[in-house]
Structure 1
Amino acid sequence: MKNNSKNYVIAISLVLLTFVMRLVPHLANFTPLFTIGIFSAVFFKNRLYSILLPIIAMLISDIFLGFYTEVWAIYLSMLVAQWISFDLAKS
């Protein structure tokens, strides 16, 4: 049970970090979003949990930043990166 609560703390921290990093001024395309997506695919055992983590973080920040026409491509590329990470984590 202790390990499970540790995973929740890590997951919530990653969502908050992603949210904050997308809101503060930064270089173009320099946010930890894909890193968190890849990390969650390797770190968390539950695939659904690790897929939803960066997607929820993106949705929350996109609500504040505004949605745009290419949003589907960003979400799709995140899913592809996670899929590749799942395969790499197996080996």
Structure 2
Amino acid sequence: MQKINPKVYTLIALIVAVSLYRIFPHPHNITPVMALALFAGTYFDKKWMAFAVPLASMLLADLFLGFHNTIIFVYAAMAFAVLIGFWLHNRVSSLKVIGATISSSLVFFLISNFGVWLVSGYYSITWAGLIECYTMALPFLQRSMMGDLLFSGVLFLSYWQIHKYWLGKREAQRA
């Protein structure tokens, strides 16, 4: 059996810790969902793990919170954020993380609200109904983006600090 390296343990621990946030009371629309997916796509070397870990985390939380008819759209938006993370993989910088986070937030907004329009029955299935759905969802975008930026900051900065710590330990052992 292949041994899992400390990087993978660190990544999984950070993702689990942040995803527990979803099942506790928190401000509406301020969640780590998209930050988790972006982070996983950026740092997991195995692409299947980059998709599996945040989606499994989401599924576990949904077992407690309940399922809804737009869940496939939410999960698809998360998968898209993982793809943005793949792009970010060898380009990590503060500004690029912020840009990728905002892009992930906008993708989530577009895909999840398209799902609301398509399956909720709240809006007519017309161009006008789609525009109305996006318009009604605009107040939620700001809070979602704030949460995504907050949790991306927590995840990426924590990882950078932990990574720096382990590199320092390795160098001290070599000396």
TM-score by length of 2: 0.46
User: What is the number of equivalent residue pairs in this alignment?
Assistant: 90
Computing the radius of gyration from Cα coordinates, the structure with the larger value is: 2
Matches within 5 A, 1:56-71: 56-71=56-71
Query: Cα distance 1:88–1:8, how it changes in 2: closer, same or farther (>3 A)?
Result: closer
Which residue of structure 2 lines up, in the alignment, with residue 45 of structure 1?
45
Which residue of structure 1 lines up, in the alignment, with residue 147 of structure 2?
none
Alpha-carbon distance in structure 1 between the residues aligned to 2:57 and 2:18: 6
Alpha-carbon distance in structure 2 between the residues aligned to 1:19 and 1:84: 19
Deviates more, 1:19-28 or 1:70-79: 19-28
Deviates more, 1:28-37 or 1:11-20: 11-20
Per-residue CA deviation, residues 39-84 of structure 1 (Å, 9 max, x unaligned), is 1111111110111010000010000111011111110000111112
Alpha-carbon distance in structure 1 between the residues aligned to 2:79 and 2:50: 10
Cα RMSD of the aligned pairs, angstroms, is 2.0
For residue 22 of structure 1, report the CA deviation from its aligned partner: 0.6
Deviates more, 1:8-17 or 1:47-56: 8-17
> Are the counterparts in 1 of residues 8 and 44 from structure 2 also a CA contact under 8 Å?
no
In the alignment, structure 1 segments of 5+ residues that lack a partner are none
Which residue of structure 2 lines up, in the alignment, with residue 55 of structure 1?
55
Query: Cα distance 1:47–1:73, how it changes in 2: closer, same or farther (>3 A)?
Result: same
Alpha-carbon distance in structure 2 between the residues aligned to 1:40 and 1:78: 10
Matches within 5 A, 1:1-91: 4-91=4-91
Q: What is the identity, as a one-letter code, of the residue corresponding to 1:14?
A: L
> Are the counterparts in 2 of residues 38 and 82 from structure 1 also a CA contact under 8 Å?
yes
By relative contact order (CA 8 Å, sep 6+), the higher-ranking structure is 1
Q: What is the identity, as a one-letter code, of the residue corresponding to 1:81?
A: A
Alpha-carbon distance in structure 2 between the residues aligned to 1:18 and 1:56: 13
In the alignment, structure 2 segments of 5+ residues that lack a partner are 92-175
Q: Percent identity?
A: 28
